[in-house]
């Protein structure tokens, strides 16, 4: 247990001291944070809402199924053979 704690502590100190002592890398970290903020707090929230957010899997299957199948056939409508479509 002690060894585990020591390892976690060593890793924590490694990262903490490294970030504190950064020189030319510091602007890069700010750049990454700025980018992540723009991506997730602005673009994702205001511009990129998933089109099917909040729908159940059944509803998604139905919507995509209708889009792919194109239309719902009438009851008893015959299935056309290939000759219908051949030029």
What are the residues binding other proteins (CB under 8 A)?
A: 14-15, 18, 24-25, 27-29, 31-32, 35-36, 38-39, 43-44, 47-53, 57, 60-61, 63-65, 67-73, 79-87
Q: Tokens for 66?
A: 């209708």
Q: What are phi and psi of 74, to 5 degrees?
A: -70, 155
Radius of gyration of the chain (CA): 28
Closer of 9 and 48 to other proteins (Cβ): 48
Closer of 8 and 49 to other proteins (Cβ): 49
Do residues 63 and 55 make contact, with C-beta atoms less than 8 angstroms apart? Answer: yes
Closer of 3 and 50 to other proteins (Cβ): 50
């Amino acid at each position: 247990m002690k060894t585990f704690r020591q390892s976690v502590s060593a890793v924590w100190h490694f990262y903490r001291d490294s970030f504190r002592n950064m020189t030319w890398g510091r602007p890069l970290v700010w750049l990454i944070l700025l980018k992540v903020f723009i991506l997730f707090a602005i673009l994702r929230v205001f511009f990129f809402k998933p089109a099917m957010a909040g729908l159940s899997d059944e509803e998604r299957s139905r919507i995509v199924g209708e889009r792919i199948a194109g239309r719902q056939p009438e009851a008893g409508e015959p299935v056309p053979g290939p000759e219908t479509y051949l030029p």
